[in-house]
Each structure stands twice: as structure tokens, then as C-alpha cells.
Amino acid sequence: MLFVNKSTVILFDKLKKTMKNVRISVLSFLVMLSFIGLSQEVTKIKVNHIFAPLPYAYNALEKSIDKETMEIHYDRHHRAYYNNFLKAIEGTDMEYLTLNQLFTGISKYPVAVKNNAGGYFNHEFFWNSMSPNGGTPSTKLTEAINASFGSMEEFKKQFEKAAATRFGSGWAWLCVDNSGKLFVYSTANQDNPLMDIAEQKGTPILTLDVWEHAYYLRYQNKRAGYIAAFWDVVNWEEVNKRFELTD
């Protein structure tokens, strides 16, 4: 017969209590985990991509870009990219990603997302790169341009060359790299320097659309004329602000 003394009973009792406490702890831990999971589910919000109005009238940039081109470009081309972008991400996890998140992982996503998210962002960025009264480059930006290119003239020359020599359709960009240095870059189709597929990645601060639809009505095959006229409508105040933000 097993002899059970009093202290063994107390010990057994204590053990039972401890086990009960452990069970309660495990249970509350599980409840906590599911609550965190649940709250993450609840706070997962779809990104609201807006179709912003053109920041000026269709004829505001007439000295460089005609009204009809602006109208077709904004209201048909840009709108189509926007609509097709929303269609391409509809019902997928991509609806929860910002444009920047999409671009930094763009190689993983369908080509339709790359083309239309790119088209939507690049045009929005382009409209805001221009203004009928865009001011002048700030001292800080001018210093950075001089440090990176030697002079404003040399920067313009490089930017014009990137825009003129882009074969087929694409964009010319002025970007800031990780070390704060400026560089000129050009992308094909609707690619941009924020995408993980770009050979040279950076934060864009100025862009020019060199697709034929951007200039053909007035300039026909003379892309160089369109590029030269672009400088008259650059929104330097916006470019200055974008440059400040990269600091």
C-alpha cells in the first residue's frame, strides 16, 4: 500500500494549481494572439487611389503644350491608365499596397499592374512637374545641380539628351540617389526609377513624358522642339519642394 503523507498531498495540490495557472496563461496567450490577428484583419485598409484634377486649365501651358493635347492626354490617356490600374488590382492583395510598395516589388506583379500603375503615377507626377508660373530653382537645388552636373546648362543638356534619345515611348527623369546626388535617367514605356526593375533607382523630382501622344499634334515628329519648350513650363517651385523632401 502506498503511503501518502501530508506534505505529498500539499505538493500535489500545489502542482494542480500551477498546472491550472499554466492552462489559464496558455489560454489567455492564445486569446491575445487571435485578438492581434483579428485587429490586424480589421485595420487592413484598401488604399484609396484618387484621380486628381489637372492642377491648371487645359490651355494654361499653351506656350509649350497646346490645349487639345493636354485635354486628350489628361482626360483620355491618363484616365485610361488610372481605370486599368484599378481593374488590374481589383479583388487582390495589391489593393492594400501603396504605389510605392507596388513599385518597389513590381517585378513580382503582373505586367498590367506595372504598365498601368506606372502610367497613372508618371502622369500625375508629370502634371505637377509643370505650371504656367513655375518660378525658379531654389539656391539649394541650384547648388545640388552644380555639384552633380557642373552647371545648370550641363544638366539641361543631359536631360534633353535623355529625352531625345529615348527610343520609342518613355520618360526622362531628374532623380536623387541615396547619397543625395542628382542624376538624369530615362525609362521605357511606363517604367519609372522607383521600380525594382530600374537599373538606377532613385527618387524622381522632375519628369518629361516623351511618348508621341504628349507632343505630336503641335510638334509632329520634332520631339526636340517639344523638349526645348518644356523648360518654359517647368514647375520649379514643385521641384524645389520635392528636392527638400529627399533630405
The set of cell numbers assigned to 118 is 506606372
Q: How far is the CB of 184 from Mn ion (least distance, A)?
A: 19
Q: Which is nearer to Mn ion, 121 or 211 (CB)?
A: 211
**Per CB under 5 A, 211 contacts Mn ion:** yes
The residue within the footprint of Mn ion, chosen from 124, 160, 191, 209 (CB under 5 A), is 209
Residue nearest to Mn ion (CB): 209
The set of cell numbers assigned to 59 is 490651355
Cα 13 off chain centre by: 63
**Per CB under 5 A, 160 contacts Mn ion:** no
Q: Which is nearer to Mn ion, 155 or 159 (CB)?
A: 159
Q: Which is nearer to Mn ion, 76 or 140 (CB)?
A: 76
3-state SS string for 88-148 = HHCCCHHHHCCHHHHHHCHHHCCHHHHHHHHHHHHHHHHHCCECCCCCCCCHHHHHHHHHH
Name the segment binding Mn ion (CB under 5 A); options: 31-39, 62-70, 159-167, 204-212: 204-212
Site size for Mn ion (CB under 5 A)? 3
Instruction: Report the candidate in 205, 209, 189 with the shortest Cα–Cα distance to residue 197.
Output: 189
- The amino acid present at 21, given as its one-letter code, is N
* Cβ–Cβ under 8 Å, residues 70 and 58: yes
**Per CB under 5 A, 191 contacts Mn ion:** no
Q: Which is nearer to Mn ion, 108 or 213 (CB)?
A: 213
Interface ranges with Mn ion (CB under 5 A): 209, 211, 214
